[in-house]
Amino acid sequence: MKGLRILIIADEVWNDEIHGNNVLSNWFNGFNAEFAEIYCSPGSPKNKCCENYFQLTDLMMVKSVIGKRAGRRFQISVPEMYKESKAHSAEQMPTRFYRFMKSITGDGLRVIRDLIWLTGRYNKNELQEFINDFSPDVVFCPRLLTPKLLRLERTIMGMTNAPFVAFTADDEASLMQVSYSPLYWLRRLLFRKAFKKHVNNYKHYFMFSEDQATDYFQEYGVTTSILFKSGDFTGEFMPKLHNKPIKLVYAGRLYCNRWKTLAAIGSALQEINAESVKMTLDIFTQEKLSKSQLKELSQYEFLKLNGRVDSSELVEIYKNADIALHVESFDKKNRYATRVSFSTKIIDLMSSTCAIMAICWEKHAGYQYLKKSDAAFCISDIEDIKSELQHIVENPELLQIYAMKAWNCGKINHNRDLIQGMIQNTFSNVIIQS
């Protein structure tokens, strides 16, 4: 069967080394399709799927205001991507400008960045040629929609008759946020107004959260469905004896106050291990901790901080652990900010041979999914951490039960054929309907 021609519009470069948990490669490795990508960041691609690119960057857009129009197309073969030394047509990253742009977090500076992307001039002739030459069957937009991407998508909608399908893993436009900045709310409300008009251009909208899918369908009338990452569930589940003491592992970032939830676990372990060591926690992270964070986490005897490890090392760490943690913050601002997010790492944890423990707000998408599937120990109140850990210490047979539940959930719901079949069917249907 002839494969589809899929044009991807994304913010980040499709590079599996920079983005090690890349859902694009997870979804599309082995997929019967030809790909092209338009992306809005510096850096060169590195993946096994796509060889055709059109790149836009902050620096290009700044220059385009008074000079050369922004955008360049290039091709690079998969073997060429994986050579150690090669010349790239793509604009690269190591400049002070990009370090500055990446550091932009204040609302005022975000507005300035928006204005650059809204007033900069695209090289429309080259962009149109790129789209015409590729002649896509469908345009797929996996991203958090922002003003710059909304404008880019709207521009490309005028250049092709191919249907558009979107994916988001974040809260794009709801008012369920916490901020005391008037500029934040002005930017949010203006974007929300534009989003309401723009969303009708999508033939389908994928997302991680069932609540968000329901909200988008009811509020905007767009058809929605849930699309998760796939995992490796080949073979059979292999039981393992639990450790003495029981080993908890957290691997990931500590932002959005996740570190405070981990500190609460450390505090609980101090009490649980008062008479003898029954349970420990290892944290693996690339984060550079502040002095106050380091002071807080270092005070707990049974919590150990470790640096970042690569994916192959992490597989072995999980094999030798008992519980893999998924945690989020409990403060209101971060609860709302991460409400519809579903860490793709959860799917990796299902195949890790560990039991999963989710500690987060009960309305968090990841928590709701794991709770509904009975695929993890689920704690929705920070005050319940100690009692749940103590219950596991007293009933260690639960570790094997929940490790198997996690594996079975993954094998049934997240095998590659199932996930790719969902994508294929959705794309085929929107093409037929267009």
Tokens representing residue 351 in the block? 């195949």
Instruction: Name the phi and psi angles at 251, rounded to 5.
Output: -130, 120
Four-point Cα dihedral 365, 374, 305, 253, nearest 10: -20
Burial 142-181 (b: 16+ CB within 10 A, else e): bbebbbbbbbbbeebeeebebbbbbbbbbbbbbeeeeeee
Comparing CA positions, the residue from 48, 33, 190, 5 lying closest to residue 107 is 190
Give the bridge partners for 75, in sequence order. Answer: 52
* pLDDT tens for the 434 residues of the chain, in order: 578 999 999 999 999 887 756 799 999 999 999 999 999 999 899 999 999 999 999 999 999 998 899 999 999 999 998 885 554 567 665 456 556 655 556 677 788 889 999 999 999 999 999 999 999 999 999 999 999 999 999 999 999 999 999 999 999 999 999 999 999 999 999 999 999 999 999 999 999 999 999 999 999 999 999 999 999 898 888 889 999 999 999 999 898 899 999 999 999 999 999 999 999 999 999 888 899 999 999 999 999 999 988 888 998 999 999 999 999 999 999 999 889 988 888 999 999 999 999 999 999 999 999 999 999 999 999 999 999 999 999 999 999 999 999 999 999 999 999 999 999 999 999 999 98
The pLDDT of residue 113 is 87
Is the pTM higher than 0.85? The answer reads yes
- Roughly what angle, to the nearest 10 degrees, separates helices 124-134 and 147-157? 60
Q: Collapse the DSSP code of 290 into the 3-class scheme (helix H, G, I; strand E, B; otherwise coil) and give the result.
A: coil
Residue 386 CA to residue 155 CA, distance in Å, equals 53
Contacts of 339 (CB under 8 A, 6+ apart): 171, 176, 209, 211, 361, 363, 364, 365
**Among 169, 166, 152, which residue's Cα sits nearest to residue 38?**
152
Specify the 3-state DSSP secondary structure of 16: coil
Cα separation, 34 vs 22, in Å, equals 18
Rg, Å, the chain Cα set:
23
Question: Are 384 and 362 spatial neighbours (Cβ–Cβ below 8 Å)?
Answer: no
